[in-house]
């Protein structure tokens, strides 16, 4: 029966690069900073009477905010 430590050792042996092997090609892309917009923040961005709200392109919009936009017929515009 294999122990937890033995299983970990087997996995690490297969994940380790072979001696003398070239490093992996390419670079891992860096994650860009993203903005989270909550319901409260979206309501602050909204100007009463307008039919749209502008947010950054990389913004993450909360589900509650999306519901609020839909109920009020407000369009979400993503700008750089």
Predicted confidence (pLDDT) per residue in 30-44, tens digit: 656 778 999 999 999
In degrees and rounded to multiples of 5, residue 53 shows phi and psi of: -135, 130
**69 near 39, Cβ under 8 Å?**
no
Q: Is the pTM of this model over 0.85?
A: no
- Does the pLDDT value for residue 70 go beyond 90? yes
């Amino acid at each position: 029966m294999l122990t937890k430590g033995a299983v970990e050792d087997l996995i690490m042996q297969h994940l380790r690069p072979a001696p003398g092997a070239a490093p992996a090609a390419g670079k891992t892309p860096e994650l860009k900073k993203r903005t989270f917009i909550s319901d409260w923040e979206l309501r602050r961005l909204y100007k009463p009477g307008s039919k749209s709200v502008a947010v950054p392109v990389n913004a993450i919009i909360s589900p509650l905010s999306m519901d609020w936009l839909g109920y009020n017929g407000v369009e979400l515009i993503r700008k750089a």
